[in-house]
Structure 1
Amino acid sequence: MNMLIDGLWTSASDGGTDPVLNPANGEEIAAVPRASAADVERAVDAAQRGSTAMAAMPAWRRYEILEAVARRIEENQAELGRLLCRENGKRIGETTSEIGVAARIFRGYAEEAKRVFGRSVPLDSIPGREKSLALTMRQPLGVVAAIVPFNYPVELWSHKVAGGLAAGNAVITKPPEDCPLAIIEVSRYMEDAGLPRGAHQVLTGGREVGEALVRAEGVQMIAMTGSTAAGRRILEVAARTLKKVHLELGGNDATIVCADADIEATADALVAGRFTSGNGQICCAVKRVLVERTAYGPLLDAVAARTRKLRVGDPMDPATDVGPLINLRGAERVEAQVRQAVADGAGIVAGGKRRGNFFEPTILTGVAPGTPAFAEETFGPVLPLIPYDDFEQALALANDSPFGLQAAIFTRDLGRVMRAYQVLDVGTVVVNHTTAVRVETLPFGGNKGSGNGREGIHDTLHEMSKEKTLLLHEVFGAR
């Protein structure tokens, strides 16, 4: 498969390629270009022309293009789901569902393209300005670079590319190295729908491609989902050109389980939110479970019983519950984190073993605050359960993290729900449901090391546009 530069599907200028491997069996699915510095420069130059064409395009036409892409995604959902499963390793049901979500996202931004509203601001609250009026409008930023992670690549990319185009920008996509293929295929639909030349481009390759886009003078915004370390690096580099940066980064999401929670329903939610969703590779997955001590034993038993029944295997098999991690490096990293947790005093109740890229769903007990297993993000199917005695202690433990993406609370007590909502330093508090949830119409993002800004159909267009004011001095007649 080739990448897309200036309306042409092309190889890298120096001929470099990278293999795309099936993480379940190591099979090479395809080879894609490894973009060079010259390729990035050419794409940024083309994006200047593309951004001019997009800014001139009326909202109704942007709507038509994005709606056409949404329909094409729906028509090919099953095929795209299979392609994404092979390159990504998530279960076939999950990847097919992700494609459906992407279609909804494109359609949502198609509608929002028609609703990029400004404001009318009366100035008669200011002495001497009684006869004046101000108007505002939102305009495109110019060129947006979308840097996309491997875990939910098509869904997360859809927010960035559809949002950027709906706002009238040109977008350059840097897809994940491990799984760029479904993004490339949907990009073909975008070209077929009638985007101007250079309005959307795809640069495949490694992190040097992303860094070149961050450095580029001709890029006005970086929209990146990825690790906190990568986010810090982007902020450092982007500061030199003062470009806008939106980051959705890692998480160490805490779930607080109160004694009045429904144990069976809570256990189901924890298993789904940590093990059977994304093979545990989700920024907002259930990462730490804080359980009121009287409920700790029953909940641990319920979660362990469910976990031991999970089937680890081929993600293309509908009977599989947990597939492989994205690559061997990721699996070995999780294995090392579990070994460190055990060395720090944790016990393994279930799982704990790695087989190639596969890691067994693992339950840890005895994880102490301050240890890496408590404080750091584990990007894989590992679930620590930690007892607490006092609700305020649980809130403090939940906040005891450099991350602040999402949190959950399981309880029937509305007072506790509102207290958690008040004090937890996170972007979203979820009630009686797993943290591993994202609704495209809601603002999504976190605090602290989890990033900045919010992404969602009603929020992204503001992030990807700029506001301009028109001050009309004394336009009202004399009284």
Structure 2
Amino acid sequence: MDFYVAGAPAHGDDEVIVNHPYDGRPVGRTTWATEDQVEAAVAAAAGVAEEAAALPAHVRAAALDHVAHRIAERRQEIAELITAENGKPVKWALIEADRAVSVFRWAAEEARRFSGGLQRLDTDPGGTGRLAVVRRVPRGPVLGISPFNFPLNLVAHKVAPALAVGAPIVLKPAPATPLTALLLGSILAGTDLPAGMFSILPVPNERASALVTDPRLPIVSVTGSGPVGAAIRRAAPDKHVTLELGGNAAVLLCADYGSDKDLDWAAQRVAIFANYQAGQSCIAVQRVFVNDTLDFLPRLTAAVEALVTGDPADPAVDVGPMISEDAARRVAAWVDEAVAAGATVVTGGKRDGATYSPTILTGVPADAKVMAEEVFGPVLVVSPVPDDPAGFAAINDSAYGLQAGVFTHDLQTAFAAHRHLRVGGVIVGDVPSYRADQMPYGGVKGSGSGREGVASAMEDYTEPRVMVLTGVEL
């Protein structure tokens, strides 16, 4: 597949073969962008920045609408490509395609209403006759770095807000899953955006540092692992860097959530959203804290064991392979370490190539990797807690803070969770895996800085510029 330099299709010198994580067969080919092509992309982004910032809202919105419509038309094709390069079950890949449609549609709407505001300054005598016009203007071209786990939707969350505000973007997709981003590039190439407005460059990770430090790309937006984010922050201290770095998301089942209907709902939601991407989601459920009066574990175990694991192209399959056999080996090693430290495997705990069976652990020490770190695999840790404050403390006992889920019907408990939990988002009555693409999304502590969601990213990609009008009769 072609990649895109300043909106034009291009090929590099060295071939990249993308293999299916499930069975290892080749599913597509592209090439690495050369250093000269990377330079051309960055130079074009810098060169078009002023023109891009001046694009009328209707031009930006029309381009975003075009992308939304084309993704919707090619939904099945795109989902099959996501499954082929990522291993995600096609039922989830279809949902990812639908979400990307929504992201670009929402960005088109935001582009039309991204208008700034007015402030009257005559609140003090010295401001009589003065009015401030406050607009937000692009900080400059954006470097977007996207991960493998959502090869379309997390690309959309970099590209759509940039185009909505009139900022050129150079996107580096994950080396393991470049093909879906390149297909998106072919759709973007059908818009009327000026040359240089976008580039999509497959680049090996070891060559990414030159992009991160290039002063012509003053914004860096990264979704990835904690170590990668920390390295980027250190490498670009003078840039505006937004980081979405994942976590070890937790849920709390409160004492009031004890009816059969409640427990069955919670068991189904936790089982599905601990495993739906083979656990490879930054808000996949990893830690489950249950009030010790609730008999939840048998229901959760039954729900996990009912999940269908296998070929992700099968519409009946719930859980597919991990991104690679090495990733599955790492998860197996972490589970083995926890067992050696005293944990019990309730179900799962088996690896078959790149597939790791959905797993529940109990009795896990607090310092075990499966509890303290981000597993990024289909592993659940279940622990009892005596009351809600202990549950809140257990959730907060983490280096991460992306989102948390609290199963309760009590309004006071919900507000207490929102007040006490050190996370970017609290989902009440459901798992932390819920994300609406228009709401602010991001974390605290080791989970990053800044917020995604179309409008929030547009704020991050821009800065306020004030004009004061003098001698105005208000």
Coarse TM-score class (shorter-chain normalised): over 0.9
Q: Aligned letter for 1:25?
A: D
**Hey, what's the Cα distance between the residues in 2 that align with 1:374 and 1:101?**
30
| 1:247 and 2:243 are equivalent in the alignment | yes
Paired AA for residue 248 in structure 2: N
Task: Tell me the residue number matched to 2:227.
Answer: 229
Whether 1:272 and 2:291 are equivalent positions in the alignment is: no
Give the deviation of 1:279 after TM superposition: 1.4
Match of 2:69 in 1: 71
Bigger mean CA deviation after superposition, 388-397 or 162-171: 388-397
Paired residues in the alignment total 470
1:413 to 389, 410, 413: 410
Q: How far did residue 449 of structure 1 move?
A: 0.6
Q: 163, 166, 185: which one pairs with 1:165?
A: 163
* One of 167, 179, 182 as aligned partner of 1:181: 179
CA offsets 1:373-398 (integer angstroms, 9 cap, x no match): 22111000000100111321111111
Tell me what 1:289 maps to.
288
Structure-2 separation of matches of 1:133 and 1:53: 28
Candidates 229, 253, 259, aligned match of 2:255: 259
* 1:281-430 alignment runs, 5 A limit: 281-295=280-294, 298-430=295-427
- Give the direction of change, closer, same or farther, for the CA distance of 1:254–1:76 in structure 2 (3 Å limit): same
One of 131, 134, 137 as aligned partner of 2:132: 134
Q: How far 1:6 sits from its partner (Å)?
A: 2.4
In structure 2, runs of 5+ residues without a counterpart are none
- Could you tell me how far apart the structure 1 residues matched to 2:120 and 2:413 are? 43
Q: Secondary structure at the match of 1:294?
A: coil
Q: CA deviation at 1:208?
A: 2.8
What secondary structure sits across from 1:214 in the alignment? helix
Task: Determine the C-alpha separation between the residues in 1 that align with 2:187 and 2:36.
Answer: 26
In 1, Cα distance between the equivalents of 2:232 and 2:36?
Answer: 20
For 1:85 and 1:370, the matched residues in 2 are separated by: 35
Is the 1:255–1:289 Cα contact (8 Å) retained in structure 2? yes
Deviations 1:35-65 (A, max 9, x none): 2333322210111233233222111111111
Q: Counterpart amino acid of 1:220? A: P
Scaled by the length of structure 1, the TM-score of the pair is 0.95
Cα deviation, residue 220, structure 1? 1.5
TM-score w.r.t. the length of structure 2 is 0.96
How far, CA to CA, are the matches of 1:468 and 1:311 in structure 2? 53
The one-character-per-residue Cα deviations of 1:106-144 (angstroms, maximum 9, x if unpaired) are 011011111112221111223422222221111122210
SS across alignment from 2:463: strand
Higher mean C-alpha deviation, range 313-322 or range 3-12: 3-12
Aligned to 1:459: 456
Equivalence map 1:7-156=2 (5 Å): 7-12=7-12, 15-156=13-154
Q: CA deviation at 1:33?
A: 1.5
Offset at residue 168 of structure 1 (A): 0.3
Q: CA deviation at 1:476?
A: 3.2
Does the CA contact (< 8 Å) of 1:203 and 1:209 recur in 2? no
Identity of aligned residues (%): 39
Deviations 1:422-461 (A, max 9, x none): 1000011111111111101211001111111111122121
Distance in 1 separating the partners of 2:429 and 2:183 = 37
Query: 2: distance between equivalents of 1:371 and 1:76?
Result: 44
* SS of alignment partner, residue 280 of structure 1: coil
CA contact (8 A) 1:20 1:30 kept: yes
Correspondence for 1:3 = 3
Q: Secondary structure of 1:460's partner?
A: helix
In 1, Cα distance between equivalents of 2:31 and 2:214: 20
Amino acid aligned to 2:444: N
Distance 2:111 2:305 in 1: 47
C-alpha separation between the residues in 1 aligned to 2:303 and 2:389?
30
For the 8 Å contact 1:53–1:199, the answer to whether it is kept is no
- What secondary structure, in the 3-state scheme, does the structure 2 residue paired with 1:468 have? strand
User: CA RMSD for the aligned pairs?
Assistant: 1.4
Alignment check: 8 A CA contact 2:283 2:402 kept: yes
Amino acid paired to 1:163:
P
User: Partner of 2:431: helix, strand, or coil?
Assistant: coil
1:346 to partner: Cα distance? 0.6
